[in-house]
Structure 1
């Protein structure tokens, strides 16, 4: 890849550092899309031993590119996102990827198709991590940043994505336990909301 193209791609990707998500960090600011993508890639890296038969390099690549379309569209919270929003994000992503050198263009197009189909173990794992990271982040944020629907969403979001893996089901169970504890510890704040 020539250096000019390389820098142009990074310039677009930099927008993920600027685009914020619905979630808040423990320090009291909105998290960026880039931070979310980085952490799900880290989650995949740390789970290598739990999934010895999965191509974790591919999962990490999926995690790193999965929200690149949001460099153009911004983030739409899962509870507001509609099918047409996802389609638009994919269309813009694919238009952008058309400008990439052939090898990268093919790789990114194939990864997106695999992620959207969610038939491979790699795609299933990436999507589970994408959902679980959001729930983990909400647990790390101050509960005052939660909106009313999130008290139930914390328990349901991602539950269907972990069913293929005993390890992920156990992780979701632990996350749910921590959610329950957080809500119980902050019940006065919830009552006054």
Structure 2
């Protein structure tokens, strides 16, 4: 939701997390403003839950968001010299609390390591 208007900042190019959060918060506010008051409040609440990772669901979605980025890096067309090593640390903390996510992370890291061996 936070990337609706300005798009996603590539993971390897993300700088100041506070600046990214401000841009995304503004997008969510803009979206919420298009909705009836109750729905807008609910939209803000869901986004806040995701950003704060307060619930198991939010933590799962955060991990899957990181996994999707790594998949793009591993399966997409990247410029020569792309830093695949970046993948090995990217979002790793979101995969630690759940066995299924740990297995997923192992598969992603194995795929990344194949790219590094080339």
Give TM-score scaled by structure 2 length: 0.85
Match status 1:159 vs 2:89:
no
CA RMSD for the aligned pairs?
Answer: 1.9
Candidates 98, 102, 105, aligned match of 1:169: 102
Gaps of 5+ in 1: 1-67, 188-193
Residue of structure 1 in register with 2:53 after alignment: 118
- Alpha-carbon distance in structure 2 between the residues aligned to 1:92 and 1:141: 27
Give the conservation status (yes or no) of the 8 Å contact 2:95–2:105: yes
Gaps of 5+ in 2: none
Candidates 140, 144, 153, aligned match of 2:75: 140
Give TM-score scaled by structure 1 length: 0.54
Give the conservation status (yes or no) of the 8 Å contact 1:138–1:146: no
Greater C-alpha radius of gyration: 1
Post-superposition offset of 1:111: 0.1
- Answer 1 or 2: higher relative contact order, Cα 8 Å, separation at least 6: 1
More strand by share: 1
Give the conservation status (yes or no) of the 8 Å contact 1:97–1:105: yes
Residue of structure 1 in register with 2:21 after alignment: 86
Give the conservation status (yes or no) of the 8 Å contact 2:85–2:112: no
